[in-house]
Structure 1
Amino acid sequence: MSAQSIPFVVPVVDISAYVRGGTDAERAATAGAMDRACSSVGFIQILGHGIPDPVIQGLKDGVDAFFGQPLEAKKEYRLPAGVNRGYAPPKSESLSLSAGVESASRMNDFFEAFNIGSQASDFPDLDLSEAEYPANAWPAVDGFRPAIEAYYAEAARVARTLTRIFADALGMPTEHFAPLTDHSLDVMRMNNYALPESTVDLDGDLTGMGEHTDYGIVTVLWADQVPGLQVVGPDGTWHDVAPIDGALLVNLGDIMGRWTNDRWMSTLHRVKPPIINGTIRRRRSVAFFHDGNAEAVVDALPTCVPAGEEPHYAPMTVIENITAKLAGSRNGQLYAGAGSVAARILAATDRAKPPANRRGT
């Protein structure tokens, strides 16, 4: 059966054997399921993550409280140049540039976002650069900080659990990634697709979030069950994805693709304006990016390079990769080193006309 004739399905993996404790056999079954999911789609629905419902509700309330403010109030927390923290207003980024693809309309990603992440002060025993681990700028919104910090801690736990599963799935020691991620450049980005809810006809140029791959190891995503998120499947075309009840979405980033020598590839995805029956719907998502220690060297794992072959990529550090990618999305600089990622985006765009005005989905 050809890839084009296989129905697109986002695999579901229950990780409770690693979260709540399980037998060796149960963990092996989970690792095997994860390997199959990462080797095919690279986008996974995870259940059994263990994040309490009240923590997720607090996250939703905090996101709504911040983005519900007037634009001018939010702009007080706008991202300083070169600092991946704070507020990013609509149409200030173009993620397709981070993947080495020239967008038809630069800085046309119509979402607003607020970023927090790991800080140098979180690791007082290490001499970390504040340029790489900048301080967070917390808005003066009642209840926002404790709610967001509570979810951040849970998402970080889930991401580190996933790296243990990944190590087992790849035939490495379970804690292989621990020393490479013990002061990881983690960022949590809260996204609000900021077009007001209304009935409109789009001109085809507006982008919720442009085609891209994530930069790091793994992304843990909470999202509304509202259409908009799309991923490229094994058939090379774009497919709609929404979380099932109780699930988080997980996708691989470029660093994991490099570590696995493309045994697992980073996942191409984008967000189209969320439209249902011709009406723009509000959509929220919160992405926790687990990227690894700034100085960690990313080189192919020995279990992922066949005997007698050379790795696909030269070694690089985590911060080198992230700096180059951020220069594309934030500063409008085309990332020429994207290589196969750019080719995959262009191939997917050629094969399937982007559904710019989907209705009834």
Structure 2
Amino acid sequence: MAVTTLAEDLVGRTVPFQEIPVIDVGALVDGSDPQRVAEALGRAAASVGFLYVRNHGVPAGLRAAMMAEAERFFAQPLEAKNAIHIRHSAIHRGYFPLFEENTDPDLTADLKEGLDLGRDLGSDDPEVRQGLPLHGPNQWPADLPGFRQTTEEYFAAMRSLAEALMRGFALALGLAPDFFTDKIDRPCASLRLLHYPPQEGHIEARTMGCGAHTDYGCLTILAQDDNGGLQVRNSAGDWISAPPIPGTFVINLGDQMARWTNGRFQATPHRVINTSGRERYSMPFFFDPNWDALIEALPGTVPEGEAPRYAPVLAGPYLQSRFDDTFAYRKDEIAAG
């Protein structure tokens, strides 16, 4: 096996994973003691922006089945994957190859390939009839029996968990548990399957699996395989390894949650460097608000006499603008007019 070395600034400091809190959310999911869980979520959101959740209610077998489907999809020939290339979709759904996305514009493009899937909406859906961007049908692989069924079951489980977490975050902010409900009942939610080839030799910061970035929307639920590679930047500027912990998901907050809370909750930079020597697979589920949800400072988040830190934005257009900035095919389409 080739020897792999990292430039000094790419080494994730190995620390006890308690620095990224591990929270039992069972009492939130089943409704038995949501306030206690909410307080823990609020502390993690304000101090770290990342956390692990256990007792989340998602069956281990379903997660394993979805991970197996991700591996099966990426094992296909490039020709089969390119048949559903994301540039064939008007709503940012489908496959993207290595170096298509660039999450950190100061670096070269990301060494990863992926498949983006969202709420699968038909032509009779009201939002599709309105012509809302990012709303419509998925591009499904043609020759993978069972792939769609497993994906839709996993997507539904992720959405249910995300809704429970949003109730917890509402309570943590001193709001009614259903405060976010009418802002996330038609979410711009997406499941992304990712494959990171191993990086070998001496790795410099110019090229990595996924460059440093914050997520664009509200919250992310990440399932990662056993190979590690995720790193999180703390407030001191140190990169901290976020290793996989059996039975948990990694949760992190995105830009829109930071804007909603006037910076009280953190959207924390993170990156991926796969030095395991093996193929790495992960499955982030991005739970972002309704297209027309207004993202502005929530009640109680702006100190008296101060102005909000962020200007109000609409959730959907903000999300689309970030895709325009980071995906090569969208830049090509914009340039072509």
Please give the TM-score of this superposition, normalised by the length of structure 1: 0.82
Tell me the secondary structure at the aligned position of residue 129 of structure 1: coil
Residue matched to 1:129: 131
Structure 2: distance between partners of 1:239 and 1:31: 25
Equivalent residues, number: 313
8 Å CA contact 2:23, 2:54 repeated in 1: yes
Tell me the secondary structure at the aligned position of residue 302 of structure 1: coil
* 1:141-179 deviation per Cα after TM superposition (whole angstroms, max 9, x unaligned): 121111111111101111111100000000011101010
Q: Of 295, 309, 314, which aligns to 2:311?
A: 314
* 1:233-285 deviation per Cα after TM superposition (whole angstroms, max 9, x unaligned): 1221111112211000000000000000000121211101x214xxx221111
Residue matched to 1:209: 210
Q: CA distance change for structure 1 residues 7 and 46 in 2, over 3 Å: closer, same or farther? A: closer
Q: Of 292, 295, 316, which aligns to 1:295?
A: 292
8 Å CA contact 1:120, 1:128 repeated in 2: no
Cα displacement (A) at 1:19: 1.3
Residue matched to 1:57: 64
Cα displacement (A) at 1:314: 1.0
For residues 1-361 of structure 1, what are the structure 2 equivalents within 5 Å? 9-22=19-32, 26-80=33-87, 83-97=91-105, 102-103=106-107, 105=108, 108-121=109-122, 124=125, 126=127, 127-140=129-142, 141-195=144-198, 200-204=200-204, 205-272=206-273, 274-276=274-276, 280-331=277-328
Alpha-carbon RMSD across the aligned residues, in angstroms, is: 2.2
Cα displacement (A) at 1:21: 2.7
Q: CA distance change for structure 1 residues 123 and 156 in 2, over 3 Å: closer, same or farther? A: farther
Structure 2: distance between partners of 1:306 and 1:225: 43
Cα displacement (A) at 1:333: 9.0
Q: Which runs of 5+ in 1 are unaligned?
A: 335-361
Report the identity percentage. Answer: 35
Cα displacement (A) at 1:230: 0.5
Q: CA distance change for structure 1 residues 29 and 180 in 2, over 3 Å: closer, same or farther? A: same
Q: CA distance change for structure 1 residues 203 and 56 in 2, over 3 Å: closer, same or farther? A: closer
Cα displacement (A) at 1:228: 1.0
Cα displacement (A) at 1:7: 7.1
Cα displacement (A) at 1:130: 4.9
8 Å CA contact 1:123, 1:183 repeated in 2: no
Q: CA distance change for structure 1 residues 134 and 65 in 2, over 3 Å: closer, same or farther? A: same
Q: CA distance change for structure 1 residues 332 and 263 in 2, over 3 Å: closer, same or farther? A: farther
8 Å CA contact 2:111, 2:197 repeated in 1: yes
Structure 2: distance between partners of 1:332 and 1:202: 30
Q: CA distance change for structure 1 residues 155 and 283 in 2, over 3 Å: closer, same or farther? A: same
Structure 1: distance between partners of 2:95 and 2:303: 44
Cα displacement (A) at 1:80: 1.4
Amino acid at match of 2:147: F
Q: CA distance change for structure 1 residues 90 and 262 in 2, over 3 Å: closer, same or farther? A: same
Compare 256-265 and 54-63 and name the one that shifted more: 54-63
Structure 1: distance between partners of 2:123 and 2:40: 34
Tell me the secondary structure at the aligned position of residue 96 of structure 1: coil
* 1:210-247 deviation per Cα after TM superposition (whole angstroms, max 9, x unaligned): 11111111001100121211111122111111221100
Structure 2: distance between partners of 1:233 and 1:149: 34
Tell me the secondary structure at the aligned position of residue 303 of structure 1: coil
Structure 2: distance between partners of 1:332 and 1:325: 13
Cα displacement (A) at 1:194: 2.9
Compare 122-131 and 170-179 and name the one that shifted more: 122-131
Q: CA distance change for structure 1 residues 294 and 142 in 2, over 3 Å: closer, same or farther? A: same
8 Å CA contact 2:217, 2:255 repeated in 1: yes
Amino acid at match of 1:295: D
Tell me the secondary structure at the aligned position of residue 319 of structure 1: helix
Compare 128-137 and 117-126 and name the one that shifted more: 117-126
Q: Which runs of 5+ in 2 are unaligned?
A: 1-12, 332-337
Q: CA distance change for structure 1 residues 230 and 14 in 2, over 3 Å: closer, same or farther? A: same
8 Å CA contact 1:193, 1:282 repeated in 2: yes
Structure 1: distance between partners of 2:202 and 2:135: 39
Structure 2: distance between partners of 1:214 and 1:19: 24
* 1:266-317 deviation per Cα after TM superposition (whole angstroms, max 9, x unaligned): 1211101x214xxx22111101101100011100001211122111111110
